[in-house]
Amino acid sequence: MMSCNQRIVFFLWPLLFLQVSGQIVYQSHLFPKVGKPRQLIQEGRVRLVGDLSSAGRVEIYHDGQWGTVCDDGWDLVEAQVVCRQLGFPGAVSAVQGGRYGEGSGSIWLDDLKCKGSESLLSECSFKGWGVSDCSHKEDAGVVCQSDANILSIQFSVDNSLGLSGDLGLLFDREDGCDFSITVRDLGEESQLTFCVHRMILMSFPELNITKDSDNLTVDISQSCQSHVPGFLRYLYTRRIDVSSESAQCLHQLAFIFGVKKLMEDVGRVFTALIPEDSSFQTQLSMFEYSLRTGDLVLQENVLQYLSWNCEFFISSPVWSTISFHMMDALLQRSDLVLKDEAYLLEALERWIQVKGDEISQEQQAGLLSHIRFPLIPVDKLYDLQFSSSVLHKNQEILYLTGLLSGFEFNSLAFSKIRSHLDNTTSEYLPRIYTGDDWCVFINDTTIVYPYYNYYGQSSRYQIFYTPEHPSALYKDKRFQWQAWVYLTFQECSNYGVSCNSLPTARLTGYQYSNSDTIRYSNKLILSCKNENNVFHVQDFKNDLVEIPGNSTMGWSNPCPDSYNFRFVVSPQYI
């Protein structure tokens, strides 16, 4: 069982996908520039290039010029040396793969191996100045600790299910231990050895421990080694205390040892932090990490949040940096919240144009097949046939096939189309479209007495009209909807509604002439008044949505008393 005792908002994860434009070069914050005479740059000095003073591409000064560092062997130990040299208390993460943009000029350092005790990066072991087989696509970066990103988190994980606490004493005393675990850092500079019990380890199939096994060697960075005893003790007791300092190390150890339950428990801490980064850099980093560790729960939580905030995500600078795997996963989802399907296609085309040759023709075709052409508004569908995009040129047949299915959808009765459909297709399944034709906002969450305005209506009541269905066959048929938000039980009573919790949202409409052909999967979208990011999406059931509390809501509620309510009408063929 996991409970959070203390949490201060913080970006625990590295800001890996920073779009580098208008870069600012930061050097040690301990040396103010104002009023100081210009001094010669010292040999071996380091700086960070990026938009933040505490994060960026690492550059080092040698032989009269700045150069970069290759990410071969780049880990948290090396990042700690850099951050301490710059005057920060330590490092949050080591960043690889040129995520802070590609540098220029020399690549001064490669195959770095630091012990962690060095005061300068140049004191670490490396091939030699300028000796490298890397390109600038492998420029290393760091995220350093600063006053703005220090987090205090503590919680307990208890999966003991009645296991005796004496098992912990068995580990502590090493009584009868018959198995040796050696933990060494990735640079093989130091190692620790623990004596444990083979039968305990055999309960974790991932380790492939047999009766004949008597030792195991695990490679993990030196900065995580202090957390190994607590993790090994968890294997005995299924109990452990987790802090902000230990969370990522424990997650990595759980991945190495195949302890999936602990991975999920620690991963929930990361999940709680997902909504806190409106730049979406943290979410991208978490997704890539979840792929490496196979944490499907974390992966799904990241994708769900990005889906709910798809429109804001697409307009962010990091959109062009996302991987093929993330793009493929997103395009297959039906919970994307965005203006319309044409907006998604345009975003895909921009992404492919930026990626260029990185995305193969086969991959382009796979991504395009996830676009739901029939659900593109018909006027925009018509304009697409004249598109000169790279995707249209490269995938002309597939593109035209999509356009044809769109025109068929808008001109034929769905009963005709349905007879030729594959039951597994999602081509006609709507996402959550929030164009002006399909939604209305209610953002007045102030309780006012009396509950009605001059005209006898609540201040949290809206009437709006939508087409019966997005198909051109029904678009001119308008239907009336009524939306309410109830903040008190008295309001519910006044409207004859039975509310079990507050606030409660209600969306009702008239009976439709095509009720045997069209159904409505209407949604309520919640966001904070002063922020755009969506933190909750819920289906209407029997015309009602009762807003869940923090204990049952997928994300921690960041604005419990100040919602934006967005009512979305979502028709689809039966």
d(CA 230, CA 226): 8
Tell me what pLDDT residue 2 has: 40
Whether 261 and 300 map to the same domain: the answer is: no
177 in a domain, yes or no?
yes
Residue 3 within any structural domain of the chain? no
- Whether the CB-CB separation of 306 and 333 falls below 8 Å is answered with no
Model confidence over 296-334: pLDDT tens digits?
888 999 999 999 999 999 998 889 889 999 999 999 999
Least confident window among 275-279, 281-285, 545-549: 275-279
E strand or H helix at 296: helix 296-308
Tell me, yes or no, whether 304 and 349 share the same domain: yes
State the helix-helix crossing angle for 396-411 and 361-368, rounded to 10 degrees: 10
Q: Are residues 366 and 389 in the same domain?
A: yes
Number of independent structural domains in the chain: 4
Same domain, residue pair 251 and 296: no
User: Exposed, middle or buried, 291 (CB in 10 Å: 0-12/13-18/19+)?
Assistant: middle
- What is the Cα–Cα distance from 30 to 32, expressed in whole angstroms? 6
Tokens of 336: 């994307």
- Beta strand extents in 81-224 (DSSP E only): 91-95, 107-109, 141-144, 154-158, 179-184, 191-196, 215-219
139, 161: one domain: no
Three-state DSSP state, 142: strand
Residue 328 and residue 408 in one domain: yes
Q: Which domain holds residue 318?
A: 292-412
Q: Which long-range contacts (CB under 8 A, 24 or more apart) does 414-423 make?
A: 414/471, 414/517, 414/573, 415/517, 418/573
Look at residues 217, 247, 274 and tell me which one is the last residue of a structural domain: 274
Distance between CA atoms of residues 193 and 276, nearest Å: 39
Same domain, residue pair 206 and 175: yes
Burial of 65 (0-12, 13-18, 19+ CB in 10 A): exposed
Higher pLDDT, 551 or 544: 544
For residue 307, tell me if it sits in a domain.
yes
Where residue 228 sits, what CATH number does that domain have?
3.30.710.10
Q: Does residue 378 form part of some domain?
A: yes
Q: What is the DSSP letter of 541?
A: B
State pLDDT tens for residues 419-440: 887 766 788 999 999 999 999 9
370-390 pLDDT, tens digit per residue, is: 999 999 999 999 999 898 899
Please tell me whether residues 263 and 300 are part of one structural domain: no
Which residue, of 145, 167, 187, is where some domain finishes?
A: 145
Q: 484-493 b/e with 16+ CB inside 10 Å = b?
A: bbbbeeebbe
C-alpha 562/C-alpha 530 separation (Å) is 9
pLDDT(18) > 70: no
User: Which CATH number belongs to the domain containing residue 103 in this structure?
Assistant: 3.10.250.10
**171 and 253 inside one domain:** yes
Is the residue at 38 inside a domain? no
Residues 113 and 165 in one domain: no
- Tell me if 551 is assigned to some domain: yes
Q: In angstroms, how far is the first alpha carbon of the chain from the final one?
A: 42
Same domain, 119 and 155: no
Which of 91, 110, 145 is the C-terminal boundary of a domain? 145
Cβ neighbour number for residue 119 with a 10 Å cutoff:
9
